[in-house]
Amino acid sequence: MKTEKIKEYSYLRALACIAIIFIHVLSQGISAYSASMGTANAAYWSVLNNMKWGVPAFMMVTGMLLLDPERKVTYPKLFSSYVARALKALICFGVIFAVLDTVYAAGTGSSPGETFKNGIYAVFAGQSWAHLWYLYALIGLYLLLPFYRMIAAKARQQDMKYLLGVYIAFLSILPFVTGWDIKIGFYIHVSSIYPFWMFFGFYLKKWGFKKNFSHYLMWTVIATIAIIIVTVIRWKLLINPLDRLFNYSSVLVILQTYGITGMVHYLKVRDDGRADRFLLAADRHSFGIYLIHMVFIWLAYTVLKWDPFLHGGFLGVVLLVVISFVLAWIADIFLRKVPFFNKIL
């Protein structure tokens, strides 16, 4: 049973990693080459918005693992293992990405020392490559982890339902309402939806997954169709406030992530089969793939000036996702053999 649970989390993280690469390939491609999408912009945005479950799924697995009262998380382990690893990755790759930007920007004349200093400042100021935002969020969650664990250890099912309901009401529904210029004076003393995802993962692990596969499939289909419909309406009628239904606090994303997580829970994969080996291996390399894959997207869009919408359309997007995934996986394998990097990855 314990092995099955570990595999379940690995499967979810591996699939979420692929979804996140889809997000970055599409978002960066739209940012650089939106004019090439033509009348298919709603279709591309629909695919992008239906991949938003990837980040919440990662955070839910974090909650499933680290909020478990049976898992010992001491303060020395918290800082020497979890916080230190995320911080090292943030500084190391933040500087590397700053160097890439500086080298590519011809004529800057920056010395190596100046480049390094600029990289450190970019990391401190949150001005490095956009996908590193996840590490900032993760460090913040780790720092408050002891208190989240206290809540998880003592909470009854009705307590956790209440907490999740408050999060949804104040950090999902009310922000959507205020996006329509409706003034609301009520608020709770938190500023981020991300603890919700950790608690939601913990809740599902302890009290959830009591339905069958068809139940979670139903919610996945409903949420996916709803996201497509809302996306089309948003882009056909240019209703900007509807964008709030596509972020990580969206009720639609919550429902979709719930459905996909439940489906993966009941996913039947033959032990030691090809799918099983692939997903487990992808999970082992998922952190490195997440850190590195943006380099290949950057090379394609910024250096090579490659427009996926003019070279295959959606097939071009899929091709870049596969290439970025595979090359990042290979790079992670090699970097794990390098001192210092093997402590991060």
Question: What pLDDT is stored for residue 95 in this prediction?
Answer: 86
The domain containing residue 162 runs over which residues? 2-344
- Alpha helix stretches (DSSP H) within the chain: 2-33, 41-49, 54-66, 75-77, 84-104, 112-125, 133-143, 145-154, 157-168, 174-178, 194-207, 213-237, 251-265, 274-284, 286-298, 314-335, 341-344
What letter would DSSP give residue 111?
Answer: -
Contact 200, 160 (CB under 8 A): no
b/e per residue, 41-76, with b = 16+ CB within 10 A? Answer: bebbbbbbbbbbbbbbbbbbbbbbbbbbeeeebeee
* pLDDT for position 110: 63
Quote the CA–CA distance of 319 and 289 in Å, as a whole number.
16
Say how many domains are in the chain: 1
Report residues of the chain scoring pLDDT below 70. 1-5, 106-112
261: CB partners within 8 A, 6+ apart? 12, 57, 60, 201, 204, 216
Mean pLDDT of the chain: 91
